[in-house]
Amino acid sequence: MGLKKVNTVLLLIGLMNIIVSAQNRKVNIPEGMVLISGGVYTPLYGAKKDSITVKVEPFYMDKYPVTNAQFLEFVKKNPKWQRSKMKNLFADKNYLSNWKSDSELGEKVLPNSPVTNISWFAAKAYCKYYKKRLPSVAEWELVAKASAAKPDGSQDPNYIKQILEWYSRPTPEKIPQIGLRGKNYWGVFDLHGLVWEWTSDFFSALVTGESRGDSGLERNLFCGSGSVNASDFKNYPAFMRFAFRSSLKANYATNNLGFRCVRDIK
């Protein structure tokens, strides 16, 4: 017991050092990324006393979603991820279908807009090439719940309303550029309002498709929409994200789904 405590304390000190050093010596923060100092993520907003929480360790996250121009660069260096070479196992026929060709973006997309029509495999390969990885649901949700002013915006009705408004609208024909909206508390842009984003463990979302049945299946982790009441009505945006993720398969390339990467702190 005593050893464990000591270990925990040591670990905490170690982590704090990392954070402090990362913050003091900015050189350590990879380019285009920001430090997320970790925290506790409660699956779906609105904690109940018996709900499960996930501890999220500190990590770096891309400030912006990966753009068409960046992905084009990656494809040039890694020709096996060209559209024409793609196997259905790793991405369906919609893979990069909004690009003009293997090596040209064309008229339908802006270079500085998030890349979409990307499968999970392709997103994963991109992150790996740059020595990064896809964020977990917990990591993504932890960062995404921050409003401009607070690490947890889930108590701010205006913040929720804005997200919900975006979720309610169809995707525009041409997806807007990154960075036009303000950054959130962590300095991260566009988690809401541009495109959906892949997560490494998207398939562990607990909506089965018959959302009303989920309330009985996974009551502790996922209180289905049937049990939404006034006190946790703010779950709506999270419900929609979970529903979206659970409708996917890893080879789906969808026109409003992009990604960004994260990197562990070493």
Partner 1 sequence: MKTKIKIFNMLLTVFFFATLIGCSSESSDQVSGEEHAQLTQAPYVPQAIARKHATKVIIDLEVREVIKRLSDDVDYVFWTFGGDVPGSFMRVREGDLVEFHLHNHPLNKLPHNIDLHAVTGPGGGAASSFTAPGHTSIFSFTAKNPGLFVYHCATAPVGMHIANGMYGLILVEPKEGLPHVDREYYVMQGEFYTEGNYGEAGLQPFSMQKALTETPDYVVFNGSVGALVGDKSLKANVGESVRLYIGNGGPNLISSFHVIGEIFDLVYNEGGNNALQKNVQTTLVPAGGSSIVEFKVDVPGNFIMVDHSIFRAFNKGALGMISVNGADNKTIYSGKQKDELYNGNSSSANGVNPFTGELNKSNGKEEYISKYSTGDSKVDENLLKTAMAGADKSSSSGNLFNLGQTVYNMSCVACHQADGKGIANVFPPLTGSDWLKTHSKEEAIKNVIMGRTGELTVNNKVYNGIMPPQNIDDTQSAAVLTYVYKKFAGKDVSISADEVKKVRAGKK
Interface residues with partner 1 (CB under 8 A) are 94, 161, 164-165, 167-171, 173, 207-214, 224-226, 228, 230, 233, 235-236, 239-240, 242-244, 246-248, 252, 254-256
Name beta bridge partners: 41. Answer: 54
Q: How far is the CB of 41 from partner 1 (least distance, A)?
A: 19
Q: Of the two residues 19 and 243, which places its CB atom closer to partner 1 in the complex?
A: 243
Nearest-approach distance from CB 254 to partner 1, in angstroms: 5
Nearer to partner 1 by C-beta: 21 or 247? 247
Shortest distance (Å) from residue 246 CB to partner 1: 8
Q: How many residues does the chain have?
A: 266
15 neighbors 58 (Cβ within 8 angstroms) = yes
Query: Residue 198 in 3-state DSSP?
Result: coil
Least spacing, CB of residue 106 vs partner 1, in Å = 17
Give the three-state DSSP class for 75.
helix
Q: Least distance from C-beta 216 to partner 1, angstroms?
A: 12
Tell me whether residue 122 or residue 265 sits nearer to partner 1 (CB atom). Answer: 122
With tokens 């270990």, the residue in question is 7
Contact 131, 263 (CB under 8 A): yes
Q: Which is nearer to partner 1, 28 or 215 (CB)?
A: 215
* 265 closest CA partner among 57, 23, 25: 57
Strands 33-36 and 262-264: unpaired
Report in angstroms how near the CB of residue 13 gets to partner 1 at its nearest: 42
Residues in a beta bridge with 264: 59
With respect to partner 1, which residue has the nearer C-beta, 2 or 209?
209
CB 192 within 8 A of CB 163: yes
For residues 82 and 208, which CB has a smaller minimum distance to partner 1 in the complex? 208
3-state secondary structure (DSSP) of residue 41: strand
Nearest to 260 by CA among 175, 174, 192: 192
